Chains A and B, each alone.
Chain A
């Protein structure tokens, strides 16, 4: 991931038309954000260093002995495309979850379905969450298991995933697809440029008390 640019007004946001790399299957429905990053690792004021805690309680025993988990397997250590099942990322709004996955090395997630806030958090980091039906996902997970060094291409723009000699159609939610492909997934500068319209909306709302609007920075 490229870091944010020095100023919001000139943020240089890369477009994410496709992601290529090897895969890692993380099986199971309803993988919640407490599993992805247990709350005790959120007692931090930055996201740095969260990568090693991704799926921590799924990966390690109380005595820190590794358990069976794809994130512990040597063959998946270079993976960038995670393949998951249904309702992945349900639960809390913690951005620590996708931040931990990204810092572990994940650049794209292919799954049956995603919880909304989780998918939104991924988008804010430029990480596609693309979906396909259960059979397609199961086949891809099996292929990744058998071909841990095999390249997967997630074509966000074209809504396909290619692996081995197979290409499957996937869905990318339209707003996500456009934001990634056009490089407008970091919305701060874009939204900030509408400051006059923001001020106008604020004035139109009966409950917003603009007498107390401080320095009125929005109207600058």
Chain B
């Protein structure tokens, strides 16, 4: 049958039954779990005397609460230690593999799945974490679920869902210098709103998306949920296959790769697929983006003035006024020059190797401004090791950055990495909600890793394209 989207195909391939309330029961190809949202689900299973149905399709890591400095056990935080111990006991009992920090494979759940080749095209991927949309970069149907749904998946390897509409977002043209995947997705959210994607799955397409490597595509899909879309995906192509070929799943098993590739090819959207909505965005017009407010939709290009609330749609004005008061920004000015106390380079959005490389390229030869506390938190232990093999850690350390262990860290402040008081943070993460980074008076400015690097160096929000590069001797 023609005229179908990847979403239609993957959905249909995984539909077990239609439930009496009209939802579909979908088979789950990969269930990723972590320490924060899974313990209650295991508890519910125990109450009901149900065993985990498919431990072989379930994979665990620890990311949210794990310390990024001293990782010796027991952890300094009793609560973190208790959560880790609970996860260890649950996975041991169920026979689920756990990438803990002793394995060298630990990291943010949305970094490790793709880097190990667990995430593959045409799969359904779920995790008790809203940024599960990240895995859509591979042409998987991937979405975040709540703890009761984790219980269902553990018990049955299926989840009850309603089918959504599909919006194709076509980003045309070439991205300009200093413009990244992060800037693309912030532009999309600004244009369509933080709730514009409710009821939709986003299919990202167009030259600017196809030109991105897998890490860039992951950054875009990662923030689908910030635009209200529970899932976002990119059709798999040679870029996808190149990535997969090098992963644990296929590096030593080219036969398996050859066996699965026809399936991956078969689930791509048809050229004449019908979409419920199509939005086109001129990629060449996108600038480095920064947020000025307290939702990921409140952003501007770095040379653009912050909007006056009165100029925004009526239903956005109150939120904008409160956001500007919280952030201490003035309409009419740009975000350039906004003082920064902390620079956070990390998170499931932007802590993969190319992110660190690009940021290190900006930092090289500069020093972190004396007013700034700057930290790099690699997305996984493997990313950290690969970065160290390239000497990126030296570049960051010499400039004055802290070089830390892998985890979610200051993206959500569940470990000790937190803002204090009303500190302002240039952050490569995904949410600028009030209180998100651990202090309710803290102020978050979202931006690309390159822009975080520039802000760390100057101590203020800076157009990375204007920062002079320093000649550094080759290592």
Hey, which chain A residues are within 8 Å of B144, CB to CB? 92-93, 117
Q: Could you tell me if B433 and A91 are in contact, using CB atoms closer than 8 angstroms?
A: yes
Inter-chain contact B82/A218, CB cutoff 8 Å:
no
Which B residues are CB-close (under 8 A) to A197?
16-17
Interface residues of A in 1-18 (CB under 8 A from B): 3-8, 11
Which residue from B20, B80, B151, B260 sits with its C-beta under 8 Å from A184? B20
A207 to B194, CA, bound (A): 34
Beyond A45-B82, A93-B37, A175-B22, whether A188 also contacts B152 by CB under 8 A is yes
Task: Say which one of A72-80, A143-151, A159-167, A198-206 lies at the interface with B.
Answer: A198-206
Tell whether, in the assembled complex, residue A115 and residue B228 are in contact, meaning their CB atoms are under 8 Å apart: yes
Interface string of B138-174 (1 = CB under 8 A from A): 0000001111110110011110101000000000000
Report the minimum CB–CB distance from A168 to chain B (whole Å): 20
**CB pair A28 B49 closer than 8 Å:** no
- For residue A34, CB closer than 8 A to chain B, the reply is yes
Q: For the complex, is B349 an interface residue (Cβ under 8 Å from A)?
A: no
Report which residue of B21, B225, B228 has the largest number of chain A beta carbons within 10 angstroms of its beta carbon.
Answer: B21
Contacting residue for A43 out of B13, B51, B83, B152, CB 8 A:
B83
**Residue B230 lies at the interface, judged by CB distance under 8 Å to chain A:** yes
Cβ–Cβ < 8 Å partners of B373 in chain A: none
Which one of B39, B53, B65 contacts A218 once the chains associate, using CB atoms below 8 Å?
A: B53
Interface flags for A134-150 (1: CB within 8 Å of B; 0: not) read 10000000000000000
**How near does chain B come to A171, taking the closest CB pair, in angstroms?**
13
User: A191 near B156 (CB under 8 angstroms)?
Assistant: yes
Nearest B-chain residue to A60, judged by Cβ: B440
List chain B residues, Cβ under 8 A from A20. Answer: none
B198 at the interface (CB under 8 A from A): yes
The reply to whether A124 and B148 contact each other, CB–CB distance below 8 Å, is yes
A178-B146 contact, Cβ under 8 Å, with A46-B40, A218-B53 = no
Q: How far is the CB of B44 from chain A (nearest CB, A)?
A: 6
A156 lies within 8 A of chain B by Cβ: no
The residues of A that contact B37 with a CB separation of less than 8 Å are: 93-95
Residues of B within 8 A of A195 (CB): 156
- Docked Cα-Cα span, A47 to B148, in Å, equals 12
Indicate whether B15 reaches chain A with its CB closer than 8 angstroms.
Answer: yes
Closest to A62 in B: B440
Interface residues as binary, B48-61 with A (CB distance below 8 Å gives 1, 0 otherwise): 11110111110000
Residue contact A214 to B56, C-beta cutoff 8 Å: yes
Q: Is the CB of B36 within 8 A of A204?
A: no
Q: Does A125 contact B (CB under 8 A)?
A: yes
A214 to B97, CA, bound (A): 13
A6 to B17, alpha carbons, bound, how many Å? 25
Q: Which residues of A contact B149 (CB under 8 A)?
A: 120-121, 124
**Cβ B22 vs Cβ A187 within 8 A:** no
- Measured CB to CB, the nearest residue on chain B to A124 is B148
Whole-angstrom distance between the alpha carbons of A132 and B198 in the complex?
16
Choose among A92, A98, A115, A206 the residue with the greatest number of B CB atoms under 10 Å from its CB.
Answer: A92
Check if B400 is an interface residue, CB within 8 A of chain A.
no
81-99 of chain A: CB within 8 A of chain B: 86-87, 90-96, 98-99
Contact digits for B411-433, partner A, Cβ 8 Å, 1 yes 0 no: 01110000000000000000101
Chain A residue contacts of B23, Cβ below 8 A: 175, 179, 187
Looking at the complex, which one of B48, B53, B195 makes contact with A4 (CB distance below 8 Å)?
B48
CB distance from B79 to the nearest CB of A (A): 4
Chain B residues closer than 8 Å to A190, beta-carbon distance: 19-20
A150 → chain B closest CB, angstroms: 26
Most B CB contacts (10 A, CB to CB) among A178, A179, A188, A204 go to A188
B22, A174: Cβ atoms closer than 8 Å: yes
Residue contact B263 to A206, C-beta cutoff 8 Å: yes
- CB pair A207 B29 closer than 8 Å: yes
> Given that A175-B21, A191-B158, A198-B27 are known contacts, is A92 also in contact with B130, CB under 8 Å in the complex?
yes
Q: Does B329 lie at the interface of the complex (its beta carbon under 8 Å from any beta carbon of A)?
A: no
- B43 contacts the other chain (Cβ, under 8 Å)? yes
Q: Check: B232 CB closer than 8 A to any chain A CB.
A: no
For B130, list chain A residues within 8 Å (CB). 91-93, 117
The interface-forming segment of B121-129, B270-278, B386-394 is: B121-129
Q: Can you sample 7 A-B contacts with CB below 8 Å? A: A6-B47, A35-B435, A44-B79, A45-B39, A45-B43, A125-B148, A194-B16
Top 3 closest A-B pairs, CB basis?
A124-B148, A121-B146, A43-B79
Question: Residues of B at under 8 Å CB distance from A?
Answer: 13-17, 19-23, 25, 27, 29, 36-37, 39-40, 43-44, 47-51, 53-57, 65, 77, 79-80, 82-83, 86, 95, 120, 122-123, 128-130, 132, 144-149, 151-152, 155-158, 160, 162, 194-195, 198-199, 225, 228, 230, 259-260, 263, 295, 315-316, 318-319, 322, 412-414, 431, 433-436, 438, 440
Known contacts A46-B39, A182-B21, A198-B158; can you find 11 more A-B pairs with CB under 8 A?
A6-B47, A91-B431, A93-B146, A116-B230, A120-B146, A121-B146, A121-B148, A179-B21, A187-B152, A197-B16, A208-B29
Interface residues in chain A, defined as those with a beta carbon under 8 Å from any beta carbon in chain B: 3-8, 11, 28-30, 32, 34-35, 38-40, 42-47, 57, 62, 86-87, 90-96, 98-99, 113, 115-117, 120-121, 124-125, 134, 173-176, 178-179, 182, 184, 186-188, 190-192, 194-195, 197-198, 200-202, 204-209, 212-214, 217-218
